[in-house]
Amino acid sequence: MGQVVIGVDLGGTNLRTALLSPDGKVLDRQKEATQAVIGWKQVVFRLIRNIQRLEAVARQQGMDVAAVGVGAPGVIQMDKGIVVKSPNFPDWNNLPLKDELERALCLPVAIENDANAAALGEQWRGAGRGIDSMILLTLGTGVGGGIVLNDRIWQGADGMAGEIGHMTLIPEGRQCGCGNNGCLEMYASARGIVRSYREALGSADTGAAAGITSEQVYQAARGGETVARRVMKDMGRMLGIGIANLINIFNPQMIVLGGGVKDAWDLFIGATQEEIMRRAFQVPAERTKIVPSLLGDDAGMIGAAAVALRAIER
């Protein structure tokens, strides 16, 4: 019987589940709205139902599911598979997700932080294929990060490593949800871009820029609007400063940029590269390839499958 694994990306918005071959080919997949508001019991129930559906698909094709990997948002106690807390799931307090799933599925389950799983996914099957040290920055509503060093996720002593979005760039800068001021996320995320644009127009919450989306800022910049162009350039600079710090610390082979903001690549990447060359050491700065992600929204799910494979190989 052929062995396969299941990878799950448990996002605040979508629950993505896929059946993968051991070499990372997606054999089947499903996606549904997470609906975090229905409470943890219901979310876990749906998670189990989704996994069981794919298990049935595997069985029909004469394959056996060997393990399940789940990428979950928030603070996770890795060894025990406990979600300590999660911004997307307000009622998840010390939820023993690994135990809950293992009991229901009778399968080995491994839990990983979702951003770390996405980084591993890109390294395994995406932009970082064949590369053993790379960093993923997901520029979405916020800025997520994951660090893969020597083919392994760098989890840190508490499983909290890779919070690149909360690197301080401006000591007394914008107040961040994490409690710090001036985090990279406050400037290089979609939300940060919208805020910069509003501030540049001098209208914090009202007036011409109220209700504007990041896509509209990109569009305005592409149309040649001076303020929008400057906002995107400034965003690129902030990102470049953050990346220069990463290059000097980790000397990675590659930095992969994912998330919705990467659609505005042409509007910020020049300024990003300029800051990197200005601030990082020359040899590692020239080596580091800065590339867009290849897997997009699939990275977390595919990376979670890699986590499952590694858990059973150990």
Residues within the interface to Zn ion (CB under 5 A):
166, 176, 178, 180, 183
Q: Is 32 helix (H, G, I), strand (E, B) or coil?
A: strand
Distance CA 208, CA 230 (A): 17
Distance CA 99, CA 71 (A): 15
Distance CA 180, CA 165 (A): 11
Shortest spacing between CB 170 and Zn ion, in angstroms:
11
Shortest spacing between CB 115 and Zn ion, in angstroms:
14
Shortest spacing between CB 177 and Zn ion, in angstroms:
6
Shortest spacing between CB 180 and Zn ion, in angstroms:
5
**E-assigned strands of the chain?**
2-10, 14-20, 26-33, 63-72, 75-77, 82-85, 109-113, 134-139, 143-149, 152-153, 254-258, 289-292
Shortest spacing between CB 181 and Zn ion, in angstroms:
8
- Tokens standing for residue 86: 């999660």
In terms of CB distance, is 166 or 262 closer to Zn ion?
Answer: 166
Whether 196 and 235 have beta carbons less than 8 Å apart is answered as: yes
Torsion sign (Cα): 284, 288, 290, 294: negative
In terms of CB distance, is 189 or 272 closer to Zn ion?
Answer: 189
In terms of CB distance, is 167 or 267 closer to Zn ion?
Answer: 167
In terms of CB distance, is 44 or 178 closer to Zn ion?
Answer: 178
In terms of CB distance, is 108 or 173 closer to Zn ion?
Answer: 173
